[in-house]
Each structure stands twice: as C-alpha cells, then as structure tokens.
Structure 1
C-alpha cells in the first residue's frame, strides 16, 4: 500500500516530445487548411468538409469522456477510479472543441459560392447546401423544394445554430461540473461532492440520451437533408462512444509506458477492453440494421444515401470501414488475454481511432463534395494533414488540461481502494 500512497501526489508534466509532436501536428494541420483555401473551389469545398469532419470527431471524443464519467458515477463503479483523470481531461478540452466546431459550422453556412442547382445558378453555402441554399423553402423560388420546405421549421439557420449552441453548451457545462466536484472532493474529502457527481450524472445522462441524436441529426445527417434515418443518432452515439474509449485506452497506455499511472494493472485494461469490444459490436449492429432495412425496403429516397457510398469513388472505403471497426476489434480483442495485453490494446485502439475517422468520412464527404476519381493524391494529403492538425490540437489541449490536476488520481474518491486492488482472474 505504501507505493500507492507515494504515487498519490504524482502530477503529469506536459513537456518534451509530447508537446513537440502535438505542436508539429497543429502546424501540419494549418498548412493543410491554408493549402486548401488557396486551392480553388474544389480545394475550398474539401477543406470545409474536412474541417467539419475533424471538429465533429474532436467534439465526439471529448463528449465521450463526459459520458464515460457520468455512467461510471451512475453505476457506482470502482474499477475505473484509477484513471478517471484522463476522461476528466477530455471534459476540460470539450469547451475548445465546441468553439472550433461552431466556428466551422458558422463559416460553412455564411461563406457562399456559385453553383448550379437543377439548371439554376444559386449562391450555395459550403456546408449544409442541401437545405441552407436561399430559395429552397420559398414557394416563389425557381428552386423551391417541397421536402426541404416541410423541414424548414428546424432546418433553418437560427434554429439549427441555436440548437447546436444550447446542446453543446450543456454538455460542456455538465463536464465542467464533474471535474469541479472531483477536485473539490480531493480538497475536502467526505461524500458531499461524490453525491453531487452522482446526481449531476443522472441529469446529464437523461438529457444526453434524448438530445445527442438531435445533435447528430443536425450536425451530420442534415448534410443530405432529403434523407433521414431514425437509427442515425444511435449509430453516431455508438461511434462517438467507442472512438472515445479507444482514445482513453491509447492515452492511458502511452502515459503508463512513460512512467505514469503505475497503479493501473492489466485488470483495468481488461475491463476497458471489454467496453471497447462490446461497443464495437454494438456499432456494427446499428450499422448493419440501418443498412439492411434500407436495402430491404428499397425506397428510392432512402436508398440514395447508400447508393452514393456504393459508387466506385467510395465503395472500397465502405467495406474498409467494416474491416477496421468490426473485424479488427473482433479478432484483436475477443480473447480475455488480448484485453490484458497493453500492446494488443494499443494496436486495437489505433485501428479503431483511424476506423472511426473513416466512418465519419463516409458520413460527411459523399454529401458535400463530388469526387471525380477513386483516389486523388492531393485531396488525400490534405485530408491527412487536417486530421494530423486536429490530432495535435486535441493532444495539446487534453494533455495541458491533464497537467493542471494536482494529482493523477482522485485521492479521496470513496471507491479508490476498490480500484487500486482491482484484480480479475
């Protein structure tokens, strides 16, 4: 027990290679964005689409941290206490991610360019042109669209943007409260702040469960506003959750390899691996259910969504998505021993992180850009540069937030002893 006591005051120092690599990633991302904005109409459109993809992913991983904290408190779980600081750092980074997403969405709606719409020249926004192009819901307009007009009560800029602000603001606020109560718990001890965390987690999960699909419907599904799926919100929640778990696992493994979190053992990784494995299967279930019902019904206004993704430009990405997000975690994490291996867990986490970037890519790109080739080297390099930029930004903000904690372990959490002696045979 003395070694654990000695570790209780351990703090994370954000310096050296971690800071350097994150800053290099940010610079690469800035270069990619600038190159896109100076690359003509096609480059600008690709840049906006990538910015939406990466900022949505950034928010999703941070929200997953708040979600993880909340259901751990609600379940009164003890096993995860040893590394709660990591999802708490995600929660602290959420505010930055939200601001960036709102800027991207706002700019994508406000900045317009000329394009042809059913034989008519219009000024369309770079993002959400399917419903935000002026005239689509005006009966006197030459481009009037009855379907869009029917959805205009919620697919209009003030309501759409206001909903994003309110929902993301709420998620950020709840995350900050959970971090605040944990810090107060370390300072004051007792059960008061733990009980507050329990109550606020119950409120958050109730609100989150009902509103996250609305957020996903607006931020992503409305990019192709004629199409809808009642499963889309849960499909996105599964993707957000499993990618967040993978980032938590990868962060924990890398920090442990660098001498931190010495109290975390293979049993903690085993439980974390079970969550990743289970929700990878759940993601596959929802993905398949959405795809199969659309295929089976064969209704044109529904099947057009998957038809786009079966065109040669996207079809091989479509099947790679299943390999990375279902087959890889299935084969890598099915055995108990695999979940207890940090090396195996690291490989699985990296594959899942890349896989869900591809998942979001397939949600966003076919509805925003017209691809001319199966593979475009310039676009690919720009995609990777912007992804590297957001990965660097997330790493910088999250690790900086982690370094602000007085201790890498919640010293006075009531279930700390259970976590420190967590062993699964």
Structure 2
C-alpha cells in the first residue's frame, strides 16, 4: 500500500458554519414557501365538483362497455369525493394537500436513504474495489433512516384516513352505500388478523418491520466499517460481505412490498406487477445522483484525494444507465396497459394524462428523467466533468421527486392537486433537513475506509 499512504487517510469532513448557514437559508425559504402555499390553498379550498372529475375520466376509459366492474373503478378514481364524503368532509381542505406532500417527501427521501445502504452493500457483495474511497459517502445517506421511520409512522397515524381510501370503514360493510367488493377482497392485506376497517396492524407492522430491519443493517454495516478502521485485517471485510449479502436479500423483498404498501395502495383498485421494480429504479437513480453530488462537493473542497475522473466516470455511467433502466420500466408498464386497454388498468394513466393538473407534469417527468440525462451524459467526456454531472444529478433528484408526486397526488387529491408553493416549499425544507442530517453523520468519522483491503485497487482504478 505504498502509493495509498501518500494520501491522508485520516481526513474528516468539516461541516462548516457557512455550509450549515446555506442549508438553513434553503430550509427557511422552503418554510416560507410552504406557509405561503398553505395560505393560498386555505383561501381557495375546492369542493367536490373538482374532485369528482376523476369519475368522468374513468367513464371515458370504459369506452361504453357494459362491465359491472366499471362502476367500482369509477368509484375508485373519484375516491377523493366518495372517501372524503364518508369521512365527514364536505369540501377539499388545504390539510389534505399538506398531508399528501408529507407522504411524497417521506417516501421519496426514505428511499434515497436506504439506497445509500444498498449501494454500499452492493460493493461488498460484488467484491468491488473501485469505489472504496466513497464507501462512507454511500453509507452516510442511511443517517436519515431513523428520522424517516418516525415521520412515516406519525404521518400515517395523523393523516392515513386522508391518504388511503382503504382506511374508510364503510367500504367493507356489505350492502352499505359505499361497499367496495374489490377493496374488501384486499382487506386482509391491510388489516389481518384484525377485522377489516378497524386498525391496519398488518400494514403498519410491515412498515415498522421494514424500517427496523433497514436501520439495523445500516447501523451494523456502518459500525463494522468503522471497526475495520481501528483494527484492520481482512476479517472485517469478509464479515461485512456476509452481512451485505443478507441485507440485499431482505432489501429485495422489503423494497417491493413497501412500494405496494406506501404508494400503490393509494390507487387501491389498480395494480402493476412491475411496480416494485419501478419504485426501486426511481429511488436508485435519485440515490445515485445524491451520492454523486456529495462526492463532487467533497472533492471540490479538497477531500477524497484518490478519487479522480475515472471514478467519476463510473458514477456517471451508473446514473446514465439506470436512468435508461427507469425509462425501460416506465415504458414497459405504460405500453402493456395501453395495449391491453382494460379500463380498470388504464384509469391510472387516464387520471394523469387527461388532467389539467397533471397532464403537463406527466410529460415533463419523461423529459427530465430520461431525455435530458440521456442526451447530456451520452458522451464519455460528459461523464468525466463535474459540471455536467452536477447539473444532471440535480435535475434528476428534482425529476424523480416529480415521479413520486405523480404516483401519489392524483390518487389522494384527484384534481385538487398540482405543483405550487406548498410542493416546492416542502421539497426544499425536506431536502435541506435531509442534507443536514447526512452531512452531520458524514462529519463524525473518517471519510475514507483506510484499512479496506481494496484501497490500493481504488488508487489504480483506470477506465
């Protein structure tokens, strides 16, 4: 390791007061925009006339076919109307939009956090050495997981009735005005072993279990890596590889089920067999972009001396490749549903495509998350220059937030949604807090896993 010892392997990131001030300013602007959004939404609450537009879209999707199930799907599309009515709401309230935004940001940033742990584990399970210099950057994203767990659970307990149509008890009452036999058939997935329409202990238990496992593995992998710094030797590398392999199996299952629970169950009638992969790909591209931006920020501040344009090129290839992978899944999901033209499936896209609130955003999602990364990062040189990657990765992080916005808001708010001050403000506020937590964790220990057995490979990495 003669070459590696030329570098300072005991570097620690200095989370400067100036950087903290910048994040506070960003969070403050976000908070002001959020308050402004609440004020403007509160002064213009909409009634059920707007929310009911979803039913018209489903009727259009039915093509005049006389299928009895179509009425059920119309009810689902307009559940902002039916659901709020049976919940005692006479009109759309700003708090419903506030809760929907809470859920979008909770799910999105929790996903980015667990992707950091996932990518860290991938390096060990695949016995990769190229990224040894930035392992601590990857694992640092997991510092947000405990906060994400608390926010997710609290948000559900406070706002679950507004977010999820299946929480309304009267849709499980056979013979009742709001009975829904499709949701009733799925009731056990939410409520077992309790009665349908009571407390969704099975659903909430999965959330607690998944976050508990994710936080456990994050803590275990991080601590083992830090112990390796102290004691050295190969034994810690083999131990981390073993724990990483176990985590990857658990993550494969938990990430898919969490996507069904936290996002797909919002549109309870609709389902997609690709959805777990789709949510993972969106999380993964955003997480890779976050890792890349933090790494560039550190490099520009004089840290990570052994990290060079070859490593940057690899990160750029990951961002480029998985942007295409996300697009492949998006198109596969859309094309199969479009081609089959089954009303209970097409309603999901009709609600988004034919809506004045979401139609433009639907196409913006594709442009931002596929067209721009594809065109900008296509060349080798673009992947090796920080300016291109900073611009593209920032756009991707915003773009995949838009992706989650489109997954959540149409199903929770109907046509009362949209991107305004509230959405921009909450995103900025969340982003500033998440960055603060991640960088605070990163500053506590060495930036480089100095006793990693593949550190020399990182130094000689060349492509």
Instruction: Kindly state the Cα deviation for residue 194 of structure 1 after the two structures are TM-superposed.
Output: 1.0
Are 1:354 and 2:422 counterparts?
no
- Assess if the C-alpha contact under 8 Å between 2:306 and 2:458 holds in 1: no
State the match for 1:168 in structure 2: 211
SS at match of 1:368: helix
- Assess if the C-alpha contact under 8 Å between 1:25 and 1:393 holds in 2: no
Aligned residues: 403
Instruction: Kindly state the Cα deviation for residue 24 of structure 1 after the two structures are TM-superposed.
Output: 2.8
State the match for 1:120 in structure 2: none
Provide, for residues 151-175 of structure 1, a one-character-per-residue CA deviation record: whole Å limited to 9, x for no partner.
0001232111111110121111111
Are 1:421 and 2:460 counterparts?
yes
SS at match of 1:313: coil
Alignment partner of 1:302 out of 345, 365, 369: 345
State the match for 1:92 in structure 2: 143
**Larger Cα-atom Rg:** 2
Instruction: Kindly state the Cα deviation for residue 36 of structure 1 after the two structures are TM-superposed.
Output: 5.8
Q: Which moved more, 1:246-255 or 1:14-23?
A: 14-23
RMSD: 1.7
Q: How does 1:49-128 map to 2 (within 5 A)?
A: 49-109=100-160, 125-128=161-164
Alignment partner of 2:361 out of 289, 306, 317: 317
State the match for 2:86 in structure 1: none
State the match for 1:332 in structure 2: 376
Provide, for residues 84-138 of structure 1, a one-character-per-residue CA deviation record: whole Å limited to 9, x for no partner.
11111112222222222222222212xxxxxxxxxxxxxxx2111x211121112
In structure 2, the CA distance between the partners of 1:395 and 1:4, relative to structure 1 (3 Å rule), is farther
Alignment partner of 2:190 out of 155, 163, 166: 155
Alignment partner of 2:168 out of 126, 133, 136: 133
Are 1:12 and 2:32 counterparts?
no
SS at match of 1:225: coil
State the match for 2:274 in structure 1: 231
Instruction: Kindly state the Cα deviation for residue 278 of structure 1 after the two structures are TM-superposed.
Output: 1.0
Provide, for residues 5-24 of structure 1, a one-character-per-residue CA deviation record: whole Å limited to 9, x for no partner.
44211111112222112223
Instruction: Kindly state the Cα deviation for residue 35 of structure 1 after the two structures are TM-superposed.
Output: 5.6
State the match for 1:370 in structure 2: 414
Determine the C-alpha separation between the residues in 2 that align with 1:258 and 1:381.
33
Alignment partner of 2:97 out of 42, 46, 69: 46
Determine the C-alpha separation between the residues in 2 that align with 1:49 and 1:31.
18
Determine the C-alpha separation between the residues in 1 that align with 2:35 and 2:167.
25
Q: If the length of structure 2 is used for normalisation, what is the TM-score?
A: 0.84
Determine the C-alpha separation between the residues in 2 that align with 1:25 and 1:389.
7
SS at match of 2:358: helix
- Assess if the C-alpha contact under 8 Å between 1:4 and 1:263 holds in 2: no
State the match for 1:404 in structure 2: 444
Determine the C-alpha separation between the residues in 1 that align with 2:204 and 2:36.
28
Gaps of 5+ in 1: 110-124
Provide, for residues 370-418 of structure 1, a one-character-per-residue CA deviation record: whole Å limited to 9, x for no partner.
3358x6xxx611111100001101111000000111x110000010111
- Assess if the C-alpha contact under 8 Å between 1:93 and 1:401 holds in 2: no
Instruction: Kindly state the Cα deviation for residue 4 of structure 1 after the two structures are TM-superposed.
Output: 5.2
Q: Which moved more, 1:65-74 or 1:140-149?
A: 140-149
Instruction: Kindly state the Cα deviation for residue 273 of structure 1 after the two structures are TM-superposed.
Output: 0.9
SS at match of 2:448: coil
In structure 2, the CA distance between the partners of 1:35 and 1:155, relative to structure 1 (3 Å rule), is farther
State the match for 1:23 in structure 2: 24
Gaps of 5+ in 2: 46-91, 192-199
Determine the C-alpha separation between the residues in 2 that align with 1:178 and 1:234.
24
- Assess if the C-alpha contact under 8 Å between 1:36 and 1:44 holds in 2: no
Instruction: Kindly state the Cα deviation for residue 29 of structure 1 after the two structures are TM-superposed.
Output: 4.2
SS at match of 2:188: coil
Alignment partner of 1:395 out of 435, 439, 442: 435
Q: How does 1:192-231 map to 2 (within 5 A)?
A: 192-231=235-274
Alignment partner of 1:262 out of 305, 309, 326: 305
